Amino acid sequence: MTATSPVVLVAGGSSGIGAGVVRRLHGDGYRVLATYHRHPERAEALVQALDPDGRRLAFVPSDLADPAGPGALVDEAVERFGRLDGVVHCAATIDTTPLDELTSEAFERVLRTNVTAAFLLLRAAATRTTMSSAVVISSIAATYTGPDSAAYEASKAALSMLTRSLADHYAPRVRINAIAPGAVETERSLAAEGFPRAMLQRRIPLGRLAEPADIAATAAFLLSPDSAYLTGQAITVDGGLSLKLT
């Protein structure tokens, strides 16, 4: 690939869905700047596996709860690769503190990382004349509730509406869409004690949890010209799980 290959910024790209997005976009020929927060070893492992020379893939540390972080990331992408064509916002945090014990500070921390950071990142990216498409990772938790997830669910619902508002504002130059995954096999779910994997597999019509690659494939489609007439949409990618929740 050449210096004219499109450039995508992936926020939260060192693990889970974000790592799947990095793998897919790098394999599709994009130049990728991705961020990590707590796991530099995972970021380094991805670089060594995919692009040890660092020509088309780089990771930088970022705390997206810091209001200055998103704008600095956009500047970094342009300085490193000369342009910015797309953004995929995968970074997220969850707080499963019981609702009656959840503090306002903890609630606001989830919103800052999951919603405010996405707003600031997409707004900063949209100022670049080469930008054409952005994807935010929402969740079916924007619609369906679960135990001790009020802050997370509120943030994902806000992301879905933020997608619509920004898509309207920045059209026609920049398309902005969301993906709402269901249950996904990630480092977090694999490590979670008591994660109801067997129950979910029985309830999902397609018979399995999603892999990060399943979500990444949809992100790649939404970044590509093949989705040129899609904007402001939240696309559910859950193997049919939400069919069983209605």
152 is known as an active-site residue:
yes
Find, among 159, 72, 55, 150, the residue nearest to 113 by Cα: 159
Tokens 């992100």 correspond to 219
**Residues 64-98: b if buried by 16+ CB within 10 A, e if exposed:** bbeeebbeebbebbbeebebbbbbbbbbbbbbeee
- The DSSP annotation for 103-156 comes to -HHHHHHHHIIIIIHHHHHHHHHHTSTT--EEEEE--GGGTS--TT-HHHHHHH
User: Helix, strand or coil for residue 78?
Assistant: helix
Q: Cα–Cα distance between 185 and 162 in angstroms, integer?
A: 26
Distance CA 80, CA 2 (A): 14
DSSP 5: S
- Round to whole Å and give the CA distance between 122 and 148: 29
For residue 136, the cross-strand partners are 89, 178
Active-site hit among 144, 152, 170, 229: 152
Q: Which residues are designated catalytic? A: 152
